[in-house]
Amino acid sequence: MSAVMTEKWVEVGKLTEIPRLGSRVVKTKDDEIAIFRAGDDTVFALSNRCPHKQGPLSEGILHGHRVTCPLHNWVIELENGEAVAPDVGCVRSYPVRVEGEQIMLGI
């Protein structure tokens, strides 16, 4: 028997509320989630803690589909939360989609 994970989609704001190459933070009962808007308007969602020293990724610098942690310059892939080599680690990623102007987060 396999486990089935279900997602609850919640509205977390409008795309225009996050500047390009910017972010915002959404707090849930279980996590603090950083919502990122890349320069090409792609939206990503990651747990707001770098896997290295728990730095706030929402305060990092976006470049392409990556964010650089503001504490120790670890680079994290926005698509999957993986640290870029030579660093090793992963941060939780969340499903996100844009419907019209509304950002929907899967939790």
DSSP the chain: --------EEEEEEGGGS-TTEEEEEE-SS-EEEEEE-TTS-EEEEESS-TTT---GGGSEEETTEEE-TTT--EEETTT-BBPTT---B--EE-EEEETTEEEEE-
Q: Which pLDDT band holds residue 11 (cuts at 50, 70, 90)?
A: very high
Q: Is residue 60 part of a domain?
A: yes
Instruction: Please report, for the domain that includes residue 48, its CATH number.
Output: 2.102.10.10
Rg from Cα positions in the chain: 14
For 27-82, the pLDDT digits (tens) are 999 999 999 999 999 999 999 999 999 999 999 999 999 999 999 999 999 999 99
Q: Is residue 1 part of a domain?
A: no
pLDDT of residue 2: 45
Q: Is residue 3 part of a domain?
A: no
Quote the number of domains for the chain.
Answer: 1
Q: Is residue 24 part of a domain?
A: yes
Q: Is residue 68 part of a domain?
A: yes
Q: Which domain holds residue 46?
A: 9-106
Cis peptide leading into residue 86 (ω within 30°) = yes
Q: Is residue 2 part of a domain?
A: no
